[in-house]
Structure 1
């Protein structure tokens, strides 16, 4: 695989989607550098050549990310509850979704190296009728660019 990027930063790399992303990037040529950040410990199967930053990325500094100098940022870090939100969820949601996304964009906005940002969202922004039901439907629901969003308020 040939990529136009040489330095990739992945937030949330130890999550379900992040681990799959890292596995796919493991086959890239050795000249492509990857920095993975997550609050969770480094998974044992991550390539040794990939850098790993464990900790709350709300505390990632401009200097720290500037030293790495990513040209691609893949933002996967998030916290969520499936379909029932508890009161305690809202503070965690704000800290690890809203505040974190804002912080990571802020510390990277002036990086001369950064050429592309990929932001992955969740099915939870859509109408709950698409994913919350008493019985599994016979046919799956499809979401497309034209599917209206209905974020929780």
Structure 2
């Protein structure tokens, strides 16, 4: 019985310490949107996967996408999208053995009630990966999977940034 109490006490103590230092798990943004309707505008460079992921997040949080800015609480403009892959390590034969993947998405958001710009930034996501030069085909498939995962994470990050900026603008 004392082991259980000690475990519980240790768990509560660790939780209190982590909370006290401001620790927050990634992806713990609010799942409740601060607005009800949104109008989305996309630059041609924005990938279909990012458009789809962002629309799914808005829908799952109860936000309705509308066809006109006049019907929207919020207008979200996704400008230039960019994906960069930089070599960060090479083998003795000169083949790439590590890369840094960077996704960048320009985001502007306007509260339509007063046409106020509430968010203007480049949302950025980084990820590194190790590559085995012998297994190049597998590395290419892995890059596709990583890019898809990063696209979904970027969409979630964009939603969280929009939601926080809307909340701050309401204060």
- TM-score above 0.5, yes or no: no
1 or 2, which has the higher helix percentage?
A: 2
TM-score w.r.t. length of structure 1: 0.32
TM-score w.r.t. length of structure 2: 0.30
* Structure number, greater radius of gyration: 2
